[in-house]
Structure 1
Amino acid sequence: MVTQTPADGLDRAANDAPDGVVERQRPGIAQRAAGLAERAWRPVALLLGIFALWWLVTAAEWIEPYLVPSPGDTIGAITDNPEYFWEHTWTTGYETLLGFVIAAAIGVFAAVVMVYSSTIEKTLYPLLLFAQVIPKIAIAPLFVVWLGFGLGPKIVVAVLMAFFPVVISMVTGLKSIDPEMLQLSATMGAKPAQTFWKIRFPASLPHLFSGLKVAATMAVTGAVVGEFVGADAGLGFVILQANGNLDTPVLFAGLLVMSLLGVLLFVVVEWAEHLLLPWQASRRTDSVTTTM
């Protein structure tokens, strides 16, 4: 009687595996943390270097403080009056989030309509390009005249800024489907709605999330641009008021909080992508096999 040791079983499993494919264990928590640290240390080091250079320039007084405040003065402007910044950040964040959601919904709908109707695509696509090249700061005053000084103009500008990357990415994703997959689904009797939800839409999600990440940062810019034109609250109002008073620490603090808001929304979208698309090529670090 021949007994098989665990090592023999592993060797046989390795020999039975297809050529060019090597099986490996799924990474644990420690390995994932190490991978995250490996990806994060470079941008963190760059940010620390920028802050160190900023501190050096201001500490050496190479630039007058009223032109460029020190990092300490900038952070102090926030910590000295946190309620003030929290209130205005909340206003801009609400406008940004609402504009981003509306832009995503309208952009996905417009992309689907354009893909399924060549007539609408040929009619709508040039108009989208024309609307995109118009500076939003130039037409923002019109929205104030039409919609008043409330949330309406800020949300509209945020939607206009975030809409274009969503619709373009979604159109690209819906059109990137292998025609053989569509022919196969038609041969098997799938209805157009089934083909869309089972094949087209899932395959377009990587492109859609790429557009959403761009739109996340553009929505913040759009909300602040709308606040520049006419507002009594929001980070745009803070920046304008600080600029008028030559209060550069508050001005830099507003810019810093605005940037952090955009980064936060970007990270949320990327986290949603990681959660919903574990099979995406850019997320295959957790796969069980790898091709040699």
Structure 2
Amino acid sequence: MSTSTAHKMPPTRKTTVTKAGRPARRGPWAKVWPPVLVIVVFLLLWELACRAGLVNEIIVPPPSDVAVSFVSMLDKAYFWEATWVTMAETIAGFLIGVVLAWAIGTALGMYDWAKTAFYPIVVGFQITPRVALAPLFLTWFGFGLTSKVVMAATICFFPVLLNVMVGMDTVDRNARTLMRSLGASRWEEYRKLVLPSSLPLIFAGIKNAITLALIGAIVAEFVGASRGMGVLIKSLNFQLDVAGGFAVIVALMIFGLILYWIVEYIDSKVVFWRSHS
């Protein structure tokens, strides 16, 4: 009489299988804490250097003084007025620059003769320091809002223009030939093939443009303006309020990051088929 013995295996613990032995995907905070840690360490070392006398506090104030100035400035009407002016200049210049660059870049990318004729001119303007144009814009358009908007639009125009043209050049020519052979019009070819293929590069240029637009507005305010955050920085420096000047710079960084994140959010919704690493 033969018997069979059943061996019961001990229960196994559930494990998370990951590709190539990598740990499971972490939450969003995994991308947040490393830069936060770097900033905290940097500010701590900066504070210690100032308190130890290694850095002249009159020239480079400690972060604690900058924080006090920043908090006190939030209650001041002049700060928010300057913020409103600079943000209006930045956003208006950004929108004008992006729309014009997208339209002109599309025209140059769709027609080879236009690209051949105008591309050298575009490159020439691209390598020209746009900051040097600020005094000219001040002479042409005056000390008001217009010169600042034109400066912001000019400085963010060319990165978007070049990215539009490069993005359209990356489209598979065989696919374009196939669409034309099927009787697609230029508009159908652009809408169904060229635009979706070039959008990732275009938005890369747009994200670069929003930061450049803010820089352009501040530079124009430095050259000549009566209102704005650039004027506020100059005024505080003339008063030897260096901590206040640093506080305005911190505010500019925060507002610039907010604008960048807004554009990045729009990018993630429009170019939804692109995988973000």
TM-score norm. by structure 2 comes to 0.86
How far apart are 1:91 and its partner, in Å? Answer: 1.1
Q: Which residue identity does 1:176 align to in structure 2?
A: T
Is 1:144 the counterpart of 2:134 in the alignment? no
How far apart are 1:117 and its partner, in Å? Answer: 2.2
Match of 2:275 in 1: 281
Match of 1:49 in 2: 41
Whether contact under 8 Å (1:220, 1:261) holds in the other structure is no
- The Cα RMSD (Å) is 2.0
Q: Which among 85, 89, 92 is matched to residue 86 of structure 2?
A: 92
Is 1:65 the counterpart of 2:28 in the alignment? no
How far apart are 1:144 and its partner, in Å? Answer: 1.1
The C-alpha deviation readout for 1:97-136, integer Å capped at 9, x for no partner, is 1111111101101111111222322332222222233333
Paired with 2:34 and 2:162, the residues of 1 have a C-alpha distance of: 31
Paired with 1:211 and 1:122, the residues of 2 have a C-alpha distance of: 22
How far apart are 1:139 and its partner, in Å? Answer: 2.0
How far apart are 1:142 and its partner, in Å? Answer: 1.4
- The total of aligned residue pairs comes to 254
Q: Which among 178, 184, 187 is matched to residue 190 of structure 1?
A: 184
Where do residues 25-174 of structure 1 align in structure 2 (5 Å cutoff)?
34-82=26-74, 83=76, 84-174=78-168
Q: Which residue identity does 1:276 align to in structure 2?
A: V
Shift in CA distance, 175/270, structure 1 to aligned 2, threshold 3 Å: same
Match of 2:13 in 1: none
Match of 1:21 in 2: none
Match of 1:246 in 2: 240
Is 1:209 the counterpart of 2:203 in the alignment? yes
> Where in structure 1 do 4 or more consecutive aligned residues deviate above 4 Å?
none
Paired with 2:46 and 2:82, the residues of 1 have a C-alpha distance of: 26
Paired with 2:186 and 2:117, the residues of 1 have a C-alpha distance of: 23
Shift in CA distance, 127/246, structure 1 to aligned 2, threshold 3 Å: farther
Unaligned runs of 5+ in 1: 1-23, 25-30, 284-292
Larger radius of gyration: 2
Match of 1:288 in 2: none
Whether contact under 8 Å (1:78, 1:85) holds in the other structure is no
- SS for the counterpart of 2:276 is helix
Q: Which residue identity does 1:43 align to in structure 2?
A: P
TM-score norm. by structure 1 comes to 0.82
Paired with 1:262 and 1:122, the residues of 2 have a C-alpha distance of: 36
How far apart are 1:192 and its partner, in Å? Answer: 1.2
Paired with 2:103 and 2:27, the residues of 1 have a C-alpha distance of: 37
Whether contact under 8 Å (1:170, 1:208) holds in the other structure is yes
Match of 1:17 in 2: none
How far apart are 1:165 and its partner, in Å? Answer: 1.0
- SS for the counterpart of 2:61 is coil
How far apart are 1:190 and its partner, in Å? Answer: 1.4
Q: Which residue identity does 1:63 align to in structure 2?
A: V
Unaligned runs of 5+ in 2: 1-18
Paired with 1:120 and 1:45, the residues of 2 have a C-alpha distance of: 50
Whether contact under 8 Å (1:228, 1:240) holds in the other structure is yes
